[in-house]
Every structure is written in C-alpha cells, then in structure tokens.
Amino acid sequence: MARPGGFSRVIDVETGPQGALETDESHLHTIDSIIDSPNAELAKCILTWVVSAPRPLAVDELTEAVSLDIGQTLTSSPLSQQLERITGPLIVVDGQSRVRITHETTSAFLTQPRIDGVSWIDRPTAHARVAELCLEILCGDQFAPPKHQRGGVNSDNTPASPLSIYAAAHFSHHLARSSLTANGHMSLLDKFLRTNVLTWIEKLAQSGDLSGLLEGARGIETYLTQRNNCHTVGDEAQAETARVWVTEIHRLVAVFHSAILAMPSSVHFLLPQLCPRGSITRKLFGTPTEGLRIVGQLDEDWDDRLTCYLFPERALSVTCCEHLVAIGVSNSNIHLYSAKTFEFVAALPNGRRPGFLAFDSTSSFLVSCDLGILELWDPCSYSLRKLIGCLVGLEASKDDWGYRAGTGSRRHHWQRFCTST
C-alpha cells in the first residue's frame, strides 16, 4: 500500500484554521502507523466505507460490508474496541454503536489529492466499489420476489442481513457518485431492475415512507446522465431499460402511493395487474394472478397527468416548492399536498379567499393574500405567523418579498421578517 506522504495543502497563516498544519501532521503519523501494521488493508476498507457512507454505519453493517468487500471478518468483542484499534483515532464508535469519522478534517485529509495527484481514498473509486456491493445484495436472494401470492419480504425464510436495508436505501447515492471507469454497474443495475425491483419497493414501503424510492430514481438518473455525457461504451438497451424505470418509479409512487403503504406486499401480485398494458411493470411482472380478475378496460400506457384534485369549490390560486403544493380554494382554505407523492398533507383555515400564494426557497413560509390582507403561514406547524392589512401591492421571490401599504412600500427577507416581533 502506497504511503500518503506529500499531501499538497496551502494554508493562509492569516485566515487558515488554527492548528491545521498540526492536524495534518497528526493524520500523516496515524496513517503511517496504519500502513506499517498487518491490518493495513482492513483499515483502509473500514475507512473507505465510513468516509463514503451518507450516514453513520452501524457496527453490524460495517462488519458485513468488510466481509463482502475484502473477505475479512471482524471477530473481537467488543467490536468497537477492535475498530478503534485498527484505525487509531480516525474513527469513533458512539453510544448507539454507530461508526463515525472523528472530524470533517479527517475525511477531507483522507480524500484530498497528494502531490502526485493520488488520494489515499479516491472518492469516485470508493463509491463505485460500494455501489457494486450494494447492487449485488439487491440482485441476491434477500430481494428475490416471493413464490406465493400471500408472500412478502422474507416469506421464504431468507434472513435479512444488516447491510440489506442500507443497500436498499443508499445504493443509488453511491451509484451517482461512482467512477465511470468502473465495470459491471450497468449489468448489475439491469439485472436488479428486471428481477428484484419490486421487493426493493416493498422493503422501502415497510418503513412507511416512499421518498426513498424517488431518491433512488434520481440517483439512477444522475448515473445515466453522467454515463451519457462521458460517452461511456456499453449496452444501450440496458441503459434504456433503466431510463424507463426512472420514470416508472415516479408513476408508481404518484398513482399507487396509498395502496403501496397500506399493503407493501401487494406490489408483487396486485400492482402489476393494475398498471397500463404498455408499462414496464406490467410487461415484466404482470403474470396472471390466481383469483384476481380485472373488470374494465386498462389503459395502454401511462396518462400524461400524474394526479388530479377535485374540489367542490373553485380553485383560485396554486403554488409549489420542492416539498409542497399549495392550492387556494374559494371556501377560504389552503390545501397542502406533498410535491413528491401528491398526497394530502393539511388544510390551512385561511379565513379569506386566497387569491395569491407563494413559498420561500426553503419551504419554510407560505404567504397568502387577498382583498388587501396578507397572511404569512408556517406550513410545518400549520400556524399563522404574521398578518398585515391595507395592502395595495405584493411581490414575492424565493429569497424575499415586498409589499405596498398605503403610501409606503417595504421589502423583507422571509426569515428575518417571520422571526421579528
């Protein structure tokens, strides 16, 4: 294993962080000690996983990851002491048995280029390896679809490993950040999408939240875009299948959100039968189901419309942000819906006909206005924060907003205005 000596780093003595040079020297000394130890390969594997993971790994997750990655087994008890002994002061195991990097500077030091341009831990290469192992788990027996209609996850007594939930939740995070020179990812992704993708949907649905499905689709889309931009040579048919699934996942969440959450196992035998005939879900998994008969005509393909809201009153205004869709109706209520799943979230008792609606950039505040009265809402607590009367004009942007009242005009930053007295 190459030594990490000669890291290039320029620190301004006037503005640079106190002790930065001493910290680098301490890290170099620690890594030198690791390289000279018999556990050098094991230490680098542990640090690679800890640095790459988007959340702290549990000890049992990391133990399985090391076994899958390099075939070594962590056996000492307690494992927390063994991990800290192998990696020195670079990681720590907290009270919840979560493995954490000791400091952000440690992670930066391990991944920054040396003078020769090489990092001790190359992030794209590390993400590529983790993505490969996660996809192998998703393609394996733990995610195999049930053989019987009443089955679900693990109905065939295949035990779930500690790393399987991590793989389901975060494989696309690593895939989107992977080195495009790595081989095999597209084939593994294609195999997963053609065989075990419905079990992945089921497992994430059992958590009670389908946002992980949308995050997974976005990660796959990012990987495909980067792959296309770099003109990566590969099986274009596999890439096209993945692109179709990116759109399909959004459709499934939008149309069947409540049904999937109410009965996650229905994704295997019921949901495919209800999808349009031309959908990839129906084509791959829509085999005839015993005892199920669909009455009526199914669409040939997905409708361009993702969702529809029907109100007994007239809809007057609409606005959206990253997280929410707000619709003002003539009975003076403001209806909030999830921008990801389109499910109803709450109704704000506005008290006035909301002719104008606008969100700030963080989805923290919603302003409604009608008949010269402005109301500022907190959409998280569904409470009214501010009320201003005698309004003549209003203008809002993502960062600030302004209004004219009487002969004067004012402009406010969302956060500062809402926290002022």
User: What is the rounded (10 degree) CA torsion for 101, 172, 231, 236?
Assistant: 150
pLDDT band, very low/low/confident/very high, at 21 (cuts 50, 70, 90): very low
Range list of β-strands (E), 18-147:
57-58, 91-93, 98-101
What mean pLDDT, rounded, does the chain reach?
Answer: 81
Return the higher-pLDDT residue of 305 and 65. 65
Closest CA to 86 of 123, 130, 33: 33
In which band, very low, low, confident or very high, does the pLDDT at 291 lie, cut at 50, 70 and 90?
low
How many CB atoms are located within 10 Å of the residue 266 CB? 19
pLDDT for position 48: 95
Give all strands (DSSP E) within 257-332, no chain letters. Answer: 315-320, 324-329
238 pLDDT more than 90: yes
**3 vs 205: CA distance, rounded Å:** 45
d(CA 34, CA 89): 11
Residue 154 has pLDDT above 70, yes or no: no
Position 303, amino acid: D
pLDDT at 390 > cutoff 80: no
Q: Please state, for a pLDDT cut of 90, what percent of the chain lies above it.
A: 39
pLDDT, tens digit, 9 for 90 and up, residues 400-415: 555 555 544 555 444 4
What are the residue ranges spanned by the domains of the chain? 20-121, 124-285, 315-419
Minimum mean pLDDT among 148-152, 183-187, 308-312, 338-342: which range?
148-152
Q: Contacts by 77-86 with C-beta closer than 8 Å and gap 24+?
A: 83/46, 83/59, 86/34, 86/37, 86/39, 86/42, 86/43, 86/46
- Which pLDDT tens digit goes with each residue over 56-83? 999 999 999 999 999 998 876 677 788 8
Question: Which tokens go with 134?
Answer: 């996660």
pLDDT higher than threshold 90 for residue 157: no
Residue indicated by tokens 């341009």: 117
Closest to 379 measured CA to CA, from 363, 362, 401, 368: 363
In the chain, what is the straight-line distance between the N-terminal and C-terminal CA atoms, in Å? 61
Residue 176 has φ and ψ, to the nearest 5°, of: -70, -20
Residue of 6 and 390 predicted with greater confidence: 390
Residue 294 CB partners (closer than 8 Å, separation 6+): 273, 274
Q: What is the pLDDT of residues 355-373, one digit of tens each?
A: 888 887 777 788 887 766 7
Domain 20-121 classification at class level? mainly alpha
Evaluate if residue 39 carries a pLDDT over 70. yes
Query: Scanning the structure block, which residue is given the tokens 């609409």?
Result: 318
Give yes or no for residue 137 having a pLDDT over 60.
yes
- Tell me, what amino acid is at 258? S
Residue 68, by phi and psi: left (phi above 0), alpha (psi -120 to 50) or beta?
A: alpha
Q: Which CATH class is domain 315-419?
A: mainly beta
Q: Which residue has the higher pLDDT, 119 or 59?
A: 59
Lowest-confidence range among 124-128, 325-329, 417-421?
417-421
Residue 167's alpha-carbon distances to 13, 183, 305, in angstroms, are 43, 19, 32
| Structure tokens that stand for 141 in this block | 């027996």
Tell me the mean pLDDT in the region 315-343. Answer: 87
Provide mean pLDDT across the span 12-16.
38
Q: Please state the φ and ψ torsions of residue 56, each to the nearest 5 degrees.
A: -60, 135
